Amino acid sequence: MLGAEDINDSGMVVAEYHLKRVRYSHLIYMVSLLESFFEMSCENLAKIVGVQNTTTQLRGTKWFARRQFIEEYGKFDLPKDVWSDI
């Protein structure tokens, strides 16, 4: 087009990329924090109830195994819809 200037949008692409990376890093941090919390909760529960070798009790994915451990040894009945959000 005659008289139209070339718009350099490379700065916007970098900014959008940076925003996505920041969001992803926050999400990864929150999930990591939640995993650490569940792991510490299982360790504390194992100490309280006196269970040895908790690693042999934890089977399956990290989330499922910890949920199962908390339900079985902590005598908690955790609703499935609570875990579906996680």
Q: What is the pLDDT along the chain (86 residues), one digit of tens a residue?
A: 555 666 655 556 667 777 888 888 888 999 899 889 988 988 899 888 888 766 556 777 778 888 888 888 888 887 878 777 66
d(CA 17, CA 82): 33
Q: How far is CA 67 from the centre of its chain?
A: 14
Q: How far is CA 17 from the centre of its chain?
A: 22
Q: How is residue 1 written in tokens?
A: 């087009």
* Cβ atoms 55, 28 nearer than 8 A: no
* Cβ atoms 70, 41 nearer than 8 A: yes
**pLDDT given at position 8:** 59
- Does the pTM surpass 0.95? The reply is no
